Amino acid sequence: MKSISLAALALAAAIPSIVVAQTAVAPEAVHNGTYAVDSSHTLVQFSVNHFGFTDFFGVIPRATGSLALDPKMLGSSKLDITLPVAGISTTNATLDDELRSADWLDAARYPTIRFVSKQVVKTGPRTARISGTITLHGISKPLTLDATFGGAGVNPMNKAYTVGFSAVGKLKRSDFGVSKYVPMVSDDVTKISAAFEKTN
């Protein structure tokens, strides 16, 4: 039993160094090409202020979509990402059902949230501003995401060449017809952690 435990500890200790070795590349060295969203490792987090008492958080997993990336001509890059409203999770089943209902996001009528980029502008060595259109609750509005490059390299588990980013954007849910309890429950703040696997 001790030898198994020591082997497991050795493997656990090795994994971070493997990951660092794979991802420690400059953004301009990332492979040019088309990527698919790694749904298992992409997550949208949102938060609202609840009646002025606390910030409350939730997530939307299982994103799908694509990224056409050219690190040397970043402005030509394209992002198209879709989120399933039915997947929304706050760790509170009653609240999850309420958010999916017609009073809020109405997953039955509007099953997805979609963001499509229109412009990508480099803002720093590892950052960019992505301007595009988000369609939420059947309404399309402009949205800007401030993105930060996380890393790139071969995933040591599935051997897929992978690139990762995080991004932050703000929107007013009332602009999309989701206005219940405004202003007591505040407008949304969105944070995205996204991974993409190369397809060509």
CATH of the domain at 97: 2.40.128.110
pLDDT tier for residue 16 given thresholds of 50, 70 and 90: very low
Q: Is the per-residue pLDDT at 92 higher than 50? A: yes
**Which residues constitute the domain of residue 12?**
2-198
pLDDT digits (tens, 9 = 90+) for 160-176: 999 999 999 988 899 99
pLDDT tier for residue 193 given thresholds of 50, 70 and 90: confident
Q: Number of C-alpha atoms within 13 angstroms, CB side, residue 83?
A: 26
Q: Report the domain count for the chain.
A: 1
pLDDT digits (tens, 9 = 90+) for 183-192: 778 777 678 7
Residue 20 CA to residue 34 CA, distance in Å, equals 23
Query: Which sign, positive or negative, has the C-alpha torsion 156, 160, 163, 164?
Result: negative
What local confidence, expressed as pLDDT, does residue 74 receive? 92
What local confidence, expressed as pLDDT, does residue 189 receive? 67
pLDDT tier for residue 63 given thresholds of 50, 70 and 90: very high
Which of these ranges, 10-19, 93-102, 139-148, has the smallest mean pLDDT? 10-19
